[in-house]
Chains A and B, each alone.
Chain A
Amino acid sequence: MREIVLPQLAMGMSEGTIVEWCVAEGDRIERDAPLVSIETEKVVVEIPAPYEGFVHIITAVDKTVPVDTLIAQITSTKDEYKQLIGSGSGETAVASAEEDVVIKGEATPPDASPGVASGPVTGRIKASGLAKRIAGDEGIELASITGTGPGGRIVRRDVENAIEVRKSIPVSVPTSIVSGSTPARREKGRIPLTGMRGAIAERMMQAKLNAAQTYVFFEIDVTKLLLARETMLSREDELGTRVSMTALYTKALALACQHVPICNATLEGDEITVWDNVDVSVAVAMPGKGDYDSGLLVPVLRNVETKNVLQISRELKNLVNQARAGKLSTAEMSDHTVTLSSTAGLSTPGSWLVSAPILNMPAVMAFQPGTPKRTPVVTDDDQIIVRDILPCGLTFDHRAVDGGPIGDFTRKITDLLSNPELMLL
């Protein structure tokens, strides 16, 4: 019998959630056939079976467990499997049984309510039919409840207590609209800070707290760039892709980074590493899990400095599609050297003027182009003309970079995007 533990799929990964078992309990699996899909903070990864044999599932779908937790066992023979199941250790249970909730190990239910969390739970969760039904109706996860019935069984009063506890957590409980002086807040939904949301929250806060973020705002006249793109778009069929603005920004960013290497750097520990290749992490908006949630992933486009706009455009589209399909591996979202976060898709010209991105640590700089806007501009000879102006935000970690190089950088990228022919060089 071999044991399958939750693998660490990336540095810093501490836990993972089982998304899907690709085999049923007790089924035979070939080596390297898909075994399980695991969601980490960043991605959903399909893990192939490292051995062939008969699978005994230990961690149920939707359960979040720490790295190195035993999630399945694979036996080489059916007899061995039967022995394993019938061994009556009390710790194993069949995950596929309709009404059984099975978790194992140090699983902490993701939405355990304070005060009712049971800590490590092992084996089948015992609950009465009535408790299951009320919990189901109320959307309370049984794993988050401590049973007080015979043998620790979850009974009605436990679920009702959990409902009470849940009600007591927010300052105000959902109530009907009360006319008069005391306006009551009415709850519409809840989004647990787990999975992608949790990762976003943690990384954003980490960046806010740990970097000396400094902000720069500037405008670039992209009239010529838009004209050049018009030409590219008119050749869409021939090129096989619709060249995106993001691809053009990415190219310019990479070139400017090469021009000012300190902008293409990471700060970790007490060391700044300046990188030769430009690996751009590109922020991609994602749908959220619930009605009110949204998401964000940052796939990395590698060696941008060696690629032409067409390549960049194609690869970016590919990355975005993969990200939205949840197919990106953790590796495809790690080890960037600089960040591009465009707000173009989020607004119409002028509706989102300019903003400063938050750093995607440990990179020391993030560039945020907005949406070009038709704008009156005063020329050197005091004429007013209409130009396409791109508002830009830029954030840098002042621990690593100072104003001088950033001035060089903004001048360079402005030059490249105002005069796109320079990018041919």
Chain B
Amino acid sequence: MPANIFDVVIIGGGPGGYVAAIRASQLGMKVALVERESLGGICLNWGCIPTKSLLRSAEIFDYIKRADEYGLSAGSAGFDIAKIVARSRQISDQLSKGVQFLLKKNKVTVLTGEANLSAVGSVSVETADEGTKSVCADHVIIATGARARQLPGLETDGRLVWSYKEALVPEKVPESLLVIGSGAIGMEFASFYRSLGSRVSVVEVEPRLLPVEDHEISGLAEKAFRKRGVDILLGASVTSLKKHTDSVVATIKCQDETREIKANRVIAAVGVTPNSDSIGLEALGIATDKSGFIKADGLGRTNVEGIYAIGDVAGAPCLAHKASHEGVICVENIAEPGKALPLDKSRIPGCTYCHPQVASVGLTEQQAAKQGYGVRIGRFPFAGNGKAIALGESDGLVKTVFDSQTGELLGVHMIGAEVTELISAPGVAQSLESTEADLMHTVFAHPTLSEMVHESVLDAFDKAIHI
């Protein structure tokens, strides 16, 4: 096979693309991966991973401030934002190198540059130092991801109005911060900066915080953040923004009122927009939806044979684990058509790593009711769990949603310490199509936070022990 001909070419080295590349190589394909920036994509370099690093610093800082509760003395708590940021950059760097190593180990050819679909089966790559290269493959997977959505008047300027990118590498902690959008990204930054002492306001256009979550969880999150001193404006939108040297004044329409909020920095976290505009989709007639997301089926196939799309660029939910999973399914289907099972998008867990953490999988109570299910709801509060109390984290809730007819576990919704680690067990249960009988029959270790999942299931059937 000539050097520039591959079995599969993947555009984008994020969690969708690099995972697809490794899996394709494992399946015996000759693989090329094109990445214009850093391997690991937004997730690893400017998303999931560095934010977790920042939030961990904030979490430990919060604990140090509470040291006395645990019988500890730690002097006066303080931080060095430069070191906090450096730690997060170092972690991203380490992991990006790890991806580089994995790709090398799997003999994936990595091309650095901007990719363009010149024809079906042909991708041209504009490299920085070697001019334009052309690679060919029967299968081209588009995994170009997404970027922060820009609202008119709220465009990020890198100075006063930040996107996640600037928010990840602050030189100093702003005294006051206005977060626009209360999705996962907005709430994580609100949480981080609040922990480090910023006065934080959150503006959300929907009537609830974390609008994709179960209403009850949204309500508990709102309560928890208000308790932390975060100013929350729901059903609100920014109508204008006046920029000064080191601050902005935002005019906010909140229901029927108009308020002005002065803040040193603004973080715009109003969703993402797909990176589908500069890769040559139109010329090949690859179909997109009105927001620009590429239309792909459950196996990643677009309307053009030989062209696939996975991850954020192929539509919501824009989550790294969804992208990776789609990547694997896509290449497995290429390797052995008819064998791979399409991704069930209704069972993708979502996690928000703010304090308190929020995690969920499946249908919310409201979605289940809307879809016509008779529902049984189970609830178990952190206050009833021994491990939670021992951790000093007695605020939170585990909520389970069942189909009253079949006993199918429709959804699990949690808020509280470490719930992002608890959500995978219910995910497995859902994936196995467990009913309440299976879950009740499962022994959960004691003392763990996971026991709350069990108790919540029991509660849905009026059998909970510890409430």
Residues of A near any B CB (own CB < 8 A): 128-131, 133-134, 137, 148-150, 155-156
How far is the CB of A156 from the nearest CB of chain B, in Å? 6
How far is the CB of B367 from the nearest CB of chain A, in Å? 18
Query: Which B residue sits closest to A149, measured CB to CB?
Result: B341
How far is the CB of B49 from the nearest CB of chain A, in Å? 29
Q: Is B434 in contact with A130, judged by CB distance below 8 angstroms?
A: yes
Number of A-B contacts (CB under 8 A): 29
Q: Is A128 in contact with B406, judged by CB distance below 8 angstroms?
A: no
Once A134-B406, A155-B433, A156-B433 are accepted as A-B contacts, the answer to whether A129 and B438 lie under 8 Å apart by CB is: yes
Minimum-distance CB pairs A-B, first 8: A128-B433, A130-B433, A129-B438, A129-B435, A130-B408, A129-B434, A130-B435, A133-B435
Q: Count chain B residues whose beta carbon lies closer than 8 angstroms to a beta carbon of A.
A: 10
> Which of chain A's residues have a CB closer than 8 A to the CB of B434?
128-130
Known: A130-B408, A131-B433, A156-B433. 9 other contacts (CB 8 A): A129-B432, A129-B434, A129-B437, A129-B438, A130-B406, A134-B406, A137-B406, A149-B341, A150-B341
Q: Counting CB contacts under 8 A, is B183 at the interface?
A: no
Q: Is A129 in contact with B433, judged by CB distance below 8 angstroms?
A: yes
How far is the CB of A12 from the nearest CB of chain B, in Å? 42
What 0/1 readout, one digit per residue, does chain B (379-417) give for beta carbons within 8 Å of chain A?
Answer: 000000000000000000000000000111000000000
What 0/1 readout, one digit per residue, does chain B (437-458) give for beta carbons within 8 Å of chain A?
Answer: 1100000000000000000000
Q: Is A128 in contact with B432, judged by CB distance below 8 angstroms?
A: yes
> Which of chain B's residues have a CB closer than 8 A to the CB of A131?
433
Residues of B near any A CB (own CB < 8 A): 341, 406-408, 432-435, 437-438
> Which of chain A's residues have a CB closer than 8 A to the CB of B408?
130, 156
Query: Which A residue sits closest to B438, measured CB to CB?
Result: A129
- Chain B binding surface SS class: loop
CA distance A411 to B435 in the complex (A): 72
> Which of chain B's residues have a CB closer than 8 A to the CB of A134?
406
Query: Which A residue sits closest to B434, measured CB to CB?
Result: A129
Q: List 29 A-B contacts (CB under 8 A).
A: A128-B432, A128-B433, A128-B434, A129-B432, A129-B433, A129-B434, A129-B435, A129-B437, A129-B438, A130-B406, A130-B407, A130-B408, A130-B433, A130-B434, A130-B435, A131-B433, A133-B406, A133-B407, A133-B435, A133-B437, A134-B406, A137-B406, A148-B341, A149-B341, A149-B433, A150-B341, A155-B433, A156-B408, A156-B433
How far is the CB of A262 from the nearest CB of chain B, in Å? 65
> Which of chain A's residues have a CB closer than 8 A to the CB of B438?
129
How far is the CB of B345 from the nearest CB of chain A, in Å? 15
Query: Which A residue sits closest to B408, measured CB to CB?
Result: A130
Most chain-B Cβ atoms within 10 A of its Cβ — which of A130, A134, A148?
A130
CA distance A134 to B403 in the complex (A): 12
CA distance A148 to B298 in the complex (A): 15
> Which of chain A's residues have a CB closer than 8 A to the CB of B407?
130, 133
Query: Which A residue sits closest to B431, measured CB to CB?
Result: A150
CA distance A156 to B407 in the complex (A): 12
Most chain-A Cβ atoms within 10 A of its Cβ — which of B408, B432, B433, B438?
B433
> Which of chain B's residues have a CB closer than 8 A to the CB of A130?
406-408, 433-435
How far is the CB of B72 from the nearest CB of chain A, in Å? 46
CA distance A133 to B341 in the complex (A): 23
CA distance A137 to B435 in the complex (A): 14
How far is the CB of B351 from the nearest CB of chain A, in Å? 23
Query: Which B residue sits closest to A132, measured CB to CB?
Result: B435
> Which of chain B's residues have a CB closer than 8 A to the CB of A129?
432-435, 437-438
How far is the CB of B410 from the nearest CB of chain A, in Å? 11
CA distance A129 to B435 in the complex (A): 6
> Which of chain A's residues have a CB closer than 8 A to the CB of B435?
129-130, 133
CA distance A90 to B389 in the complex (A): 46
Query: Which B residue sits closest to A134, measured CB to CB?
Result: B406
CA distance A158 to B354 in the complex (A): 40
How far is the CB of B170 from the nearest CB of chain A, in Å? 44
Query: Which A residue sits closest to B409, measured CB to CB?
Result: A130
How far is the CB of A395 from the nearest CB of chain B, in Å? 54
> Which of chain A's residues have a CB closer than 8 A to the CB of B432?
128-129
